[in-house]
Structure 1
């Protein structure tokens, strides 16, 4: 056995450090290790190329979504063809289409009905009875003025028949004279409504040549057209 002295330990440690420094030191172009002073002379571009080669890594490959993978469309088509072979699938599809068509028709009919209701509404301050609108004035005027104001709202002075007479009796309690759309024909003794039809009933005071315009109260009578009376308008929807 032999012993190692302190001097030998120092020699060994210095030798070991020398070997590590040789391993860490870069090599020159001839393969010899470079010293610290020589390492400073190495160009920075050479060191960058060495670092770049050490940190190089392959790019990641992005996986395609399942919907974009080849074969997904063919799988969907195969599922649809398999479903279509079943009679229940065909009946269900036909029933769904039929229900959708019915819903569309019902919705379109409802929209059309609403539009018709908006178009068939009575003017402001008019009273509706079934498909007819009525208006009773609150002020008096001559026969011509009443007809003009009724016409401005798309109507005319009242043209009576049995149905209209019944509606007037139900809607209004007439205690005063009101102009109606009945006037004596200047070329004859006939009384005609504004729609051109002849009135075959009796007109109170109708034989007086000065009385050419008709009114209604409890009965139908004749007055001078320049007299001032209330009036009744009507409009068919």
Structure 2
């Protein structure tokens, strides 16, 4: 697996940050980690605008695979929009690729408002907020 350099992780990308993922190189201002590229925004956007930014960069809002993803941000206390939303038709929380959320990954989603969008901190906490509010966001581009 790819190792990170000794740079400290800031709430968002620095202008000179460009690292390889260990599999391929990432776009400028993106962070490579374990064969994925991540963009951690400094800019505040609505959930939809964050999603649109990610899509325009051939990625999606973060889809969490493990409780502390992305692990390199585990010291961040900020909340970020992620690519999870409630699908009324299926009565389920779905990721942007329409896959279902593993029940043990974020079991406390039962207490959030399904009309809201989900924010996540890499320490493993979630919050829900009105989708039109502006927060930072994380894009993830899978390279393999």
Structure 2 unaligned segments of length 5 or more: list them: 1-20
Which residue does the alignment assign to 1:128? 32
Choose 1 or 2 for highest CA Rg: 1
Residue deviations 1:59-104 (CA, integer Å, cap 9, x gap):
xxxxxxxxxxxxxxxxxxxxxxxxxxxxxxxxxxxxxxxxxxxxxx
**Paired position in structure 2 for 1:229:** 135
Give the strand-richer structure, 1 or 2.
2
Runs of 4+ deviating beyond 6 Å: none
Unmatched 5+ stretches in structure 1? 1-116
Measure how far apart 1:138 and its partner are. Answer: 0.5
Does the C-alpha gap of structure 1 residues 172 and 166 become closer, same or farther in structure 2, counting only changes over 3 Å?
closer
For residues 160 and 209 of structure 1, the distance between their equivalents in structure 2, rounded to whole angstroms, comes to 18
More helix by share: 1
Distance 2:27 2:132 in 1: 27
Q: Does 1:144 align with 2:48?
A: yes
C-alpha distance in structure 1 between counterparts of 2:120 and 2:87, whole Å: 18
Deviation at 1:135, TM superposition (A): 0.9
Q: CA RMSD in A?
A: 2.2
- TM-score, normalised by the number of residues in structure 1: 0.45
CA distance in structure 2 between the aligned counterparts of 1:176 and 1:144, rounded to whole angstroms: 19
Larger relative contact order (CA 8 Å, sep ≥ 6): 2
Where 1:198 maps in the other structure, the secondary structure is coil
Aligned residue pair count:
116
After superposition, the Cα gap between the structure-2 partners of 1:198 and 1:183, relative to the gap in structure 1 and judged at 3 Å, is same
